[in-house]
Structure 1
Amino acid sequence: MRRYMWVAALLVAATAPVSAAEVRVKEIARVAGVRENALTGYGLVFGLAGSGDTLRHRATLQSVANTLRHFGVNLAEVDLASRNVAAVLVTAKLPAFAEPGGLLDVQVASSGDARSLNGGTLMLTPLYGADGRLYAMAQGAIAVGGYQFEGPTALVQKNHPTVGWVPSGATVEQASPLRVAGDGRSLSLLLNDPDFTNAQRVADAVRAVAPGAYVQPEHAGKVTVRYDQAPANLVTEIARLENATVQLQRKPRVVVNERTGTVVAGADVRVGAVSITHGNLRVEIDTRLAVSQPAPGIYAGTGPSIGTVVVPQTDITATETLASLVRIREGATVAELVTSLRGIRLSTRDVIAVLQSIKAAGALDGELVIQ
Structure 2
Amino acid sequence: MMRGISRLYWSLVLICFAFAPIVEASSVRLKELARIEGVRENSLFGYGLVVGLAGTGDTHRSKATLQSIANTLQQFGISLDSDEIASRNVAAVTLTAKLPPFANSGDMIDVNVSSMGDARSLVGGTLLLAPLKAVNGKIYAVAQGQVSVGGFSYDLNGNVVQKNHPTVGVIPSGASVERGLSTDLVGADGHINVILNQPDFTTASRIKNAINKTLGPGKARAVHAGKISVVAPAGEYDLVDYLTRIENSVIEPDRIATVVVNERTGTVVAGGDVTIDNVTISHGNIKVVISTDYQVSQPVFVREPGRGVSTVVVPDTSIDIEESVAEPVRLSSGASIADLVTALRQIKTSTRDVITILQLIKTAGALHAQLVIQ
Higher mean alpha-carbon deviation, 91-100 vs 169-178, is at: 169-178
Aligned residue among 348, 352, 361 for 1:349: 352
Q: Which amino acid aligns with 1:197?
A: T
Q: 1:314 offset after TM fit, Å? A: 6.6
Aligned residue among 94, 98, 103 for 1:93: 98
Residue of structure 2 in register with 1:203 after alignment:
208
Aligned residue among 13, 16, 33 for 1:12: 16
User: Equivalent residue of 2:176, what SS?
Assistant: strand
Higher mean alpha-carbon deviation, 155-164 vs 93-102, is at: 155-164
Aligned residues: 365
Partner Cα distance (1:25, 1:81) in 2: 59
Residue of structure 2 in register with 1:71 after alignment:
76
Deviations, residues 94-144 of structure 1 (Å, cap 9, x unaligned): 111111121212222222222322332222221111111111112222222
Deviations, residues 73-106 of structure 1 (Å, cap 9, x unaligned): 3332223332222222211111111111212122
Partner Cα distance (2:102, 2:58) in 1: 38
Residue of structure 2 in register with 1:302 after alignment:
none
Contact 1:209/1:241 (<8 A) preserved: yes
Partner Cα distance (1:311, 1:61) in 2: 69
Q: 1:5 offset after TM fit, Å? A: 5.3
Aligned residue among 48, 72, 75 for 1:43: 48
Partner Cα distance (2:311, 2:101) in 1: 79
Residue of structure 1 in register with 2:241 after alignment:
236
Aligned residue among 78, 89, 92 for 1:84: 89
Q: How does 1:213-228 map to 2 (within 5 A)?
A: 213-227=218-232
Q: Could you state the TM-score of these two structures normalised by the residue count of structure 1?
A: 0.85
Deviations, residues 253-281 of structure 1 (Å, cap 9, x unaligned): 22222233322222212222322233333
Partner Cα distance (1:293, 1:181) in 2: 97
Higher mean alpha-carbon deviation, 160-169 vs 141-150, is at: 141-150
Aligned residue among 129, 135, 138 for 1:133: 138
Partner Cα distance (1:296, 1:107) in 2: 81
Contact 2:290/2:318 (<8 A) preserved: yes
Contact 2:233/2:239 (<8 A) preserved: no
Partner Cα distance (2:295, 2:118) in 1: 50
Deviations, residues 120-172 of structure 1 (Å, cap 9, x unaligned): 22222211111111111122222223333445454443332322222222221
Structure 2 CA distance for partners of 1:227 and 1:164, relative to 1, 3 Å: closer
Q: 1:197 offset after TM fit, Å? A: 0.3
Q: Which amino acid aligns with 1:42?
A: Y
Higher mean alpha-carbon deviation, 329-338 vs 194-203, is at: 329-338
Q: How does 1:155-234 map to 2 (within 5 A)?
A: 155-183=160-188, 185-211=190-216, 213-227=218-232, 229=234, 232-234=237-239
Residue of structure 2 in register with 1:322 after alignment:
325
Structure 2 CA distance for partners of 1:81 and 1:326, relative to 1, 3 Å: farther
Q: 1:360 offset after TM fit, Å? A: 1.9
Structure possessing the higher relative contact order (Cα contacts under 8 Å, 6 or more residues apart): 1
Percent identity between the two aligned chains: 52
Contact 1:213/1:228 (<8 A) preserved: no
Residue of structure 2 in register with 1:303 after alignment:
none
Is 1:368 aligned to residue 371 of structure 2?
Answer: yes
Partner Cα distance (1:172, 1:29) in 2: 27
Partner Cα distance (1:183, 1:282) in 2: 70
Is 1:253 aligned to residue 258 of structure 2?
Answer: yes
User: Equivalent residue of 1:132, what SS?
Assistant: coil
Q: Could you state the TM-score of these two structures normalised by the residue count of structure 2?
A: 0.84
User: Equivalent residue of 1:21, what SS?
Assistant: coil
Structure 2 CA distance for partners of 1:206 and 1:272, relative to 1, 3 Å: same
Partner Cα distance (1:180, 1:143) in 2: 37
Is 1:53 aligned to residue 63 of structure 2?
Answer: no
Residue of structure 1 in register with 2:362 after alignment:
359
Partner Cα distance (2:158, 2:317) in 1: 37
Contact 2:141/2:178 (<8 A) preserved: yes
Deviations, residues 333-360 of structure 1 (Å, cap 9, x unaligned): 2223223333333333332222222222
RMSD: 3.3
Structure 2 CA distance for partners of 1:101 and 1:75, relative to 1, 3 Å: same
Contact 1:7/1:339 (<8 A) preserved: no
Structure 2 CA distance for partners of 1:271 and 1:53, relative to 1, 3 Å: farther
